[in-house]
């Protein structure tokens, strides 16, 4: 707040100049001077002291006490008053100050202004000893008020704030008043008096009347434990349901003018007075130890319950070897501000922590005590420190998290590239079956004759298996000799092959007599453990009736590879990768490089050929037709 220097009012110079001009004319001029001075003194009233102040006093500087923390709020249209804070806390006594020649002056500083101005007293705004009255107050009275106590040699001033809130008669407007907290012990009684009633009685023409409200409910209340007698409210037996805001509205008359003002009280239920009021230290205690680590920061907690005790100071502090922290020379120890965690029936649970930076081994033998005190007693307890064993929790957590992350990544990689990984594993650790059996062919291709399946089997499968993957392929129509029995020849070829590749199609059951024989022979060899595996390739989708008995049994135990047209023509497609997994692994010596390579590794070179063109299929078909037996 910016306060301008307060100067005493000066006497007008124009009022003395004519008298001084006639001062040498004789007794007549002296009589005129006496009469003029008497009239001027009678009209000045109580401002005579300020008017006759010399020019030396106008230069006197005031000792400024600043702004008072006690702000006053008044409802618009109701009476209110300001009490000069200079006469509180035994700083000054109004009667003694007035007898010693000190005078009290009031000044008003409106909002958003920098210069205060003297109060113009009237019937509405008046001064009564150390109080300034507004009967009633209006919105223009809002602002700061400076009360100044001065004489010729001394000057002291202090400011206070006045707020005029919105007027109204219903309860929500009354909530704007700042309540006075009144604690009442549970199951006990107390008498409530309306604040400021004694001041209004001094200004009233007759005894004021008081009306009481509880949470906007006008007296009489619904219970018999609260009773109004005269201007006071008696609470005979306090309970939780009686907590809340109470309003008292005082009505009186002053000089036949009806006036009123409202005050609010916040009534709270507190613990009974017959309970112990000595503070209790909850932590530290004998059962709990503070686990600390050397070289780290340690935090010692002191949790205390202060029972409700009206007008009692509460103190909580830490000591180190019987010394307070203020008396210690080093700064490794520090206290946090007290913190209220819980309030129950006025009983407060307060926490204050002691922080130890870079805990040392000698600190384990140091005595750390938490002490508390109020008007009813004193208590202290020692905090027990215990060195905590090192636990690599961070390292374990990071290791476990990294392991889980790695497992997740590996799972995703395997889920996406499981075919490639299996092929890579086979190329490194697989066994060439030619060294363990005496089979003549790697693959025997079975298919339905005279259809699209025949062209697919002869032109596509045979071409890729023989020319790109390096397998020895057996096709009955091409490799069988004339004159033999079909059944015997078929069983012989199937028995001399390591894999039976069966191309499935919708006409497999109706037109596939030879194919069914080959399938049955392959399944029999598998059942007898003849080192033969059957591979099913579904060239076109099969309906329910196309799955004959042998196919249903084979489908239940064998994997079915599906040809998806253009998507499967690429040698890097999933069809060919899955087919390579089902086919036997072969190795061959490379005399120039001196290394062992698998035929599967040739797929990377073969994949550069791109799609299997329809023209290529036609050429292979022509070659097959020319060599057909």
pLDDT, tens digit, 9 for 90 and up, residues 348-407: 999 999 999 888 888 888 999 999 999 999 999 999 998 887 777 788 889 999 999 999
To the query of whether residue 592 is one of the catalytic residues in this protein, the response is no
Q: What is the mean pLDDT of residues 592-611?
A: 34
pLDDT at 15 over 70: no
Is 317 strand, coil or helix? strand
Tokens, residue 35: 């009469």
Name, of 195-199, 276-280, 586-590, 616-620, the range with top average pLDDT: 276-280
**Which of 242, 270, 298 is the last residue before a domain boundary?**
270
- Please report which confidence band the pLDDT of residue 512 belongs to, taking 50, 70 and 90 as the band edges: low
Q: Are residues 489 and 612 in the same domain?
A: yes
Range of the domain at 567: 434-626
Closest CA to 188 of 307, 265, 271: 271
Q: Are residues 603 and 491 in the same domain?
A: yes
Query: What CATH number corresponds to the domain at position 259?
Result: 2.60.40.10
Q: Are residues 491 and 607 in the same domain?
A: yes
Question: Quick check: is 33 in a domain?
Answer: no
**Which of 270, 291, 323 is the last residue before a domain boundary?**
270
Predicted pLDDT at 170: 61
Total domain count, the chain: 3
pLDDT at 627 over 50: no
Question: Quick check: is 594 in a domain?
Answer: yes
How does DSSP assign 452-501, residue by residue?
A: HHHHIIIIIIHHIIIIIS---EE-HHHHPPTTS-HHHHHHHHHHTEEEEE
Q: Are residues 544 and 488 in the same domain?
A: yes
Question: Quick check: is 429 in a domain?
Answer: no
Q: Are residues 345 and 474 in the same domain?
A: no
Is 212 strand, coil or helix? strand
| Weakest mean pLDDT among 257-271, 420-434, 548-562 | 548-562
What is the edge-to-edge ordering of all strands in the sheet holding 244-254? 180-185, 257-270, 244-254, 209-214, 217-218
Query: What CATH number corresponds to the domain at position 500?
Result: 3.40.50.10140
Question: Quick check: is 604 in a domain?
Answer: yes
Q: Are residues 493 and 545 in the same domain?
A: yes
pLDDT at 43 over 70: no
Closest CA to 103 of 146, 55, 43, 151: 151
Helix (H) or strand (E) holding 169, with range, is: none
Q: Are residues 244 and 302 in the same domain?
A: no
Average pLDDT, the chain: 79
How far apart (Å, rounded) are the C-alpha atoms in residues 371 and 324?
A: 10
Q: Are residues 263 and 284 in the same domain?
A: no
pLDDT at 606 over 70: no
Question: Quick check: is 451 in a domain?
Answer: yes
Structure confidence by residue, pLDDT tens digits, 439-490? 889 999 998 887 788 889 888 999 999 998 889 999 988 888 887 788 888 8
Q: Are residues 452 and 596 in the same domain?
A: yes
Q: Are residues 224 and 372 in the same domain?
A: no
Structure confidence by residue, pLDDT tens digits, 69-101? 888 888 888 899 999 988 876 677 888 888 888
Q: What share of the chain in percent tops pLDDT 90?
A: 32
Predicted pLDDT at 168: 58
How far apart (Å, rounded) are the C-alpha atoms in residues 420 and 410?
A: 14
Structure confidence by residue, pLDDT tens digits, 481-493? 887 788 888 888 8
**Which of 249, 270, 291 is the last residue before a domain boundary?**
270
- Please report which confidence band the pLDDT of residue 547 belongs to, taking 50, 70 and 90 as the band edges: low
Question: Quick check: is 475 in a domain?
Answer: yes
Q: Are residues 583 and 459 in the same domain?
A: yes
Predicted pLDDT at 548: 61
Q: Are residues 515 and 371 in the same domain?
A: no
Is 258 strand, coil or helix? strand
Helix (H) or strand (E) holding 143, with range, is: strand 143-150
Question: Quick check: is 120 in a domain?
Answer: no
- Residue 137 dihedral angles phi and psi, to the nearest 5°: -95, 150
Structure confidence by residue, pLDDT tens digits, 5-14? 333 333 333 3
Of the residues 21, 367, 518, 592, only one is catalytic, namely: 518
Beta strand segments in 76-130, E: 80-83, 103-109, 117-118, 125-128
How far apart (Å, rounded) are the C-alpha atoms in residues 130 and 135?
A: 16
Question: Quick check: is 111 in a domain?
Answer: no
Predicted pLDDT at 173: 53
């Amino acid at each position: 707040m910016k306060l301008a220097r307060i100067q005493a009012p000066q006497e007008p110079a124009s009022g003395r100049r004519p008298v001084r001009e006639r001062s040498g004319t004789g007794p007549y001029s002296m009589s005129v001077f006496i009469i003029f001075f008497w009239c001027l003194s009678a009209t000045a009233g109580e401002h005579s002291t300020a008017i006759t102040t010399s020019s030396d006093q106008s230069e006197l500087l005031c000792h400024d006490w600043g702004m008072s923390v006690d702000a006053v709020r008044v409802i618009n249209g109701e009476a209110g008053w300001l009490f000069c804070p200079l006469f509180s806390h035994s700083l000054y006594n109004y009667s003694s100050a007035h007898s010693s020649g000190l005078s009290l002056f009031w000044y008003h500083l409106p909002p958003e202004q920098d210069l205060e101005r003297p109060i113009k007293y009237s019937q509405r705004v008046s001064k009564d000893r150390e109080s300034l009255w507004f009967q009633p107050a209006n919105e223009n009275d809002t602002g700061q008020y400076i009360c100044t106590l001065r004489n010729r040699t001394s000057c002291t001033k202090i400011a206070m704030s006045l707020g005029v809130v919105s007027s109204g008669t219903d309860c929500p407007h009354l909530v704007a008043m700042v309540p006075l907290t009144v604690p009442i012990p549970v199951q006990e009684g107390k008498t409530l008096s309306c604040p400021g009633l004694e001041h209004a009685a001094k200004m009233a023409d007759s005894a004021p009347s008081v009306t009481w409200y509880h949470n906007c409910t006008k007296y009489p209340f619904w219970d018999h434990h609260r009773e109004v007698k005269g201007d006071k409210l008696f609470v005979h037996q306090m309970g939780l349901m009686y907590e809340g805001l109470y309003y008292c509205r005082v009505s009186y008359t002053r000089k036949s003018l009806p006036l009123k003002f409202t005050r609010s009280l916040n009534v709270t239920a507190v613990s009974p007075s017959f309970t112990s009021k000595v503070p209790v230290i909850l932590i530290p205690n004998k059962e709990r130890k503070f686990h600390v680590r050397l070289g780290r920061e340690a935090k010692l907690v002191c949790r205390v319950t202060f029972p409700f005790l009206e007008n009692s100071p509460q103190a909580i502090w830490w000591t180190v070897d019987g010394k307070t922290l203020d008396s210690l020379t080093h700064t490794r120890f520090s206290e946090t501000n007290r913190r209220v965690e819980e309030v129950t029936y006025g009983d407060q649970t307060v926490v204050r922590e002691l922080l130890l930076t870079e805990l040392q081994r000698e600190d384990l033998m140091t005595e750390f005590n938490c002490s508390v005190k109020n008007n009813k007693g004193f208590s202290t307890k020692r905090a027990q420190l215990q060195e905590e064993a090192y636990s690599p929790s961070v390292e374990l957590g990071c290791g476990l998290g990294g392991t889980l992350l790695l497992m997740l990544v590996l799972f995703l990689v395997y889920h996406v590239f499981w075919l490639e990984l299996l092929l890579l594993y086979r190329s490194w650790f697989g066994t060439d079956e030619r060294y363990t059996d005496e089979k003549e062919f790697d693959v025997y291709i079975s298919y339905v004759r005279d259809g699209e399946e025949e062209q697919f089997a002869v032109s596509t499968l045979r071409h890729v298996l023989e020319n790109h993957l390096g397998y020895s392929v057996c096709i009955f129509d091409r490799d069988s000799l004339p004159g033999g029995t079909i059944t015997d020849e078929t069983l012989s070829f199937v028995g001399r092959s390591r894999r039976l590749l069966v191309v499935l199609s919708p006409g497999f059951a109706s037109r596939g007599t030879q194919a069914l024989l080959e399938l049955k022979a392959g399944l029999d060899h598998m059942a007898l453990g003849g080192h033969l595996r059957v591979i099913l390739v579904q060239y076109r989708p099969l309906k329910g009736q196309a799955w004959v008995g042998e196919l249903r049994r084979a489908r239940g135990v064998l994997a079915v590879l599906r040809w998806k047209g253009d998507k499967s023509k690429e040698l890097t497609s999933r069809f060919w990768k899955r087919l390579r997994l089902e086919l036997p692994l072969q190795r061959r010596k490379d005399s120039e490089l001196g290394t062992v390579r698998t035929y599967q590794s040739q797929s990377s070179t073969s994949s550069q050929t791109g799609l299997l063109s329809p023209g290529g299929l036609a050429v292979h078909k022509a070659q097959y037709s020319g060599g057909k037996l």
